[in-house]
């Protein structure tokens, strides 16, 4: 059984696992970067006084929350490309879906952070003549940022772990690579799956645990 661990040293198997993990991290970070931009705008819209804006953003939020990410992946990669005649790369489709999800989740976090800013801050800003965009840029968003940073880090963590779904649309990420290695060595190393998936778990842990720890430390410091 322990001899099956040798499969990781065969050829470039371990390097392939690291490369697959890199793909997962790239998808998550690219999606998160876009989500921060669009999610901030959505959060401001959700906290606005416009009933129409709030209704539209709430409908979008509930749609994304109800719809499983896997279904969204299939809709974007298979159905949307067929309906509109697009030749969409699987990684790009994954980034689009994770951005849609991240925008909804981060938008709700931004809304909650904005609404948590004390009322007297708005009144003080109004007394100084700060209104409109300047109010959000100089008063509201800087104060909301403290509560947003830990939550955003945790969302990034969730994205990294959820990228395992993208293997189902053909993206060669870490779990897909693990499956390929297992299939190629099924007869020579029959118990290799235990060790390979154990290494995959360890890789995810080494990436995600420090992120979770950083989020917890920031939350404790700023609470």
Per-residue pLDDT tens for 145-162?
A: 777 888 888 899 899 989
- Between 8 and 179, the more confident residue is 179
Q: Residue 145: what pLDDT?
A: 75
- Between 191 and 66, the more confident residue is 66
Domains in the chain, please, with CATH? 2-222 (1.10.3720.10)
pTM assigned to the model: 0.85
Q: Is the pLDDT of residue 4 over 80?
A: no
Per-residue pLDDT tens for 28-80?
A: 999 999 999 999 899 989 988 888 999 999 999 999 999 999 999 999 888 87
Inter-residue long-range contacts of 171-176, CB under 8 Å, 24+ positions, other chains counted: 171/23, 171/27, 171/90, 171/91, 171/94, 172/20, 172/23, 173/20, 173/21, 173/23, 173/24, 173/27, 174/17, 174/20, 174/21, 174/23, 174/24, 174/200, 174/203, 174/204, 175/20, 175/200, 176/20
Instruction: Provide the pLDDT confidence category of residue 223 given band limits of 50, 70 and 90.
Output: low
Q: Residue 222: what pLDDT?
A: 64
């Amino acid at each position: 059984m322990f001899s099956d661990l040798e499969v990781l040293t065969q050829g470039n198997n371990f390097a392939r696992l690291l490369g697959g993990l890199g793909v997962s991290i790239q998808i998550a970070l690219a999606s998160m970067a876009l989500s921060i931009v669009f999610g901030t705008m959505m959060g401001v819209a959700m906290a606005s006084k416009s009933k129409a804006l709030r209704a539209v953003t709430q409908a979008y939020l509930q749609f994304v929350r109800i719809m499983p990410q896997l279904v969204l992946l299939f809709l974007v990669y298979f159905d949307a490309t067929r309906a509109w005649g697009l030749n969409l790369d699987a990684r790009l489709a994954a980034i689009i879906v994770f951005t849609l999800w991240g925008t909804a989740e981060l938008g709700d976090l931004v809304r909650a952070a904005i609404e948590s800013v004390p009322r007297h801050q708005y009144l003080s800003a109004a007394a100084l003549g700060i209104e409109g965009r300047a109010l959000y840029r100089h008063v509201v968003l800087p104060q909301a940022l403290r509560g947003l940073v830990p939550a955003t880090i945790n969302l990034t963590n969730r994205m990294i772990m959820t990228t395992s779904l993208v293997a189902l649309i053909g993206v060669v990420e870490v779990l897909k690579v693990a499956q390929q290695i297992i299939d190629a060595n099924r007869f020579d190393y029959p118990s290799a799956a235990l060790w390979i998936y154990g290494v995959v778990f360890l890789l995810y842990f080494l990436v995600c645990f420090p992120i979770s720890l950083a989020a917890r430390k920031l939350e404790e410091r700023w609470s």
